[in-house]
């Protein structure tokens, strides 16, 4: 099954940015799409554009209703073939502010793992499915300005690898995709030293194709694979002076 023909897609974090563009791509591919986000107004605007294909749920993944909301979306869609965790949080924490570190971890670690565990087990019982999540090129190494962000993205990528291995060990036909974007032109992309900033539509198209091809790990855009390679090759002492 190619995922562009999957009938039921759920995207966590789709009120703007990459998630919003992915939702539109899947609608255009003929899918029914359940979308979530914190902006109820933004979700309503997407629903108005595609009233027959979009189902919405407005909630924050740092709360206590993640599973209840996901189960509700699955019921209203009539099932789930593809789950995408695109919710994310990241801010510079130059003075190591606990509120920033906590919000980052609750979204990028706690919310991610809670909903991904549910989705993986759902697909195992169902006998098929695909799970993808938006990590980051920041997962490659630590960052002194945003330590929780890079660490949380590393957690996501490592956990996705674990799910990928698990699916094969138990011989479950579940595709797992680790999405690692560089700088994308969204509200999440901050900082003065940005380069190779890509339009969000281009990033979404590449992600869409990667999920459809059942790829395990994808760098968005592809040139960021070079950055990942160089990061691995740099001596630790040199990287720590630069970061």
**Which pLDDT band holds residue 118 (cuts at 50, 70, 90)?**
very high
Q: What is the pLDDT of residues 143-171, one digit of tens each?
A: 778 899 989 999 999 999 999 999 999 99
Task: Give the list of residues 6+ apart from residue 74 with CB closer than 8 angstroms, or none.
Answer: 8, 10, 34, 80, 122
Residue 140 is predicted with a pLDDT of: 75
Tokens 């929780």 correspond to: 148
* pLDDT exceeds cutoff 80 at 68: yes
3 or 53, higher pLDDT = 53
**Are 228 and 141 a contacting pair, CB within 8 Å?**
no
Query: For the whole model, what pTM was predicted?
Result: 0.87
119 or 186, higher pLDDT = 119
Alpha-carbon distance of 49 to 44, in angstroms, equals 9
| Domains by residue range for the chain, with CATH | 3-242 (3.40.50.720)
- Which of 1-15, 76-90, 115-129 is the least confident region? 1-15
């Amino acid at each position: 099954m190619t995922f562009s023909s999957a009938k039921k897609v759920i995207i966590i974090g789709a009120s703007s940015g990459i998630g919003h563009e992915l939702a539109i791509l899947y609608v255009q591919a003929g899918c029914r799409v359940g979308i979530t986000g914190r902006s109820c107004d933004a979700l309503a605007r997407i629903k108005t554009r595609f009233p027959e294909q979009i189902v919405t749920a407005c909630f924050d993944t740092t709360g206590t209703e993640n599973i209840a909301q996901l189960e509700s979306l699955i019921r209203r869609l009539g099932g789930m073939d593809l789950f995408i965790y695109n919710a994310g949080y990241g801010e510079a924490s130059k003075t190591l502010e606990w509120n920033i570190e906590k919000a980052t971890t609750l979204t990028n670690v706690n919310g991610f793992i809670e909903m991904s565990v549910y989705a993986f087990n759902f697909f195992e019982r169902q006998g098929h499915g695909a799970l993808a999540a938006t990590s980051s090129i920041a997962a490659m190494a630590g960052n002194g300005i945003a330590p929780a962000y890079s660490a949380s993205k590393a957690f996501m990528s490592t956990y996705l690898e674990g799910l990928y291995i698990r699916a094969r060990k138990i011989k479950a036909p579940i595709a797992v995709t680790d999405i690692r974007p560089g700088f994308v032109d969204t509200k999440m992309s901050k900082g003065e030293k940005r380069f190779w900033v890509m339009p969000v539509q281009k990033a979404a198209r590449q992600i869409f194709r990667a999920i459809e091809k059942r790829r395990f790990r994808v760098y968005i855009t592809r040139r960021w694979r070079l950055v990942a390679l160089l990061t691995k090759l740099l001596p630790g002492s040199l990287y720590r002076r630069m970061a």
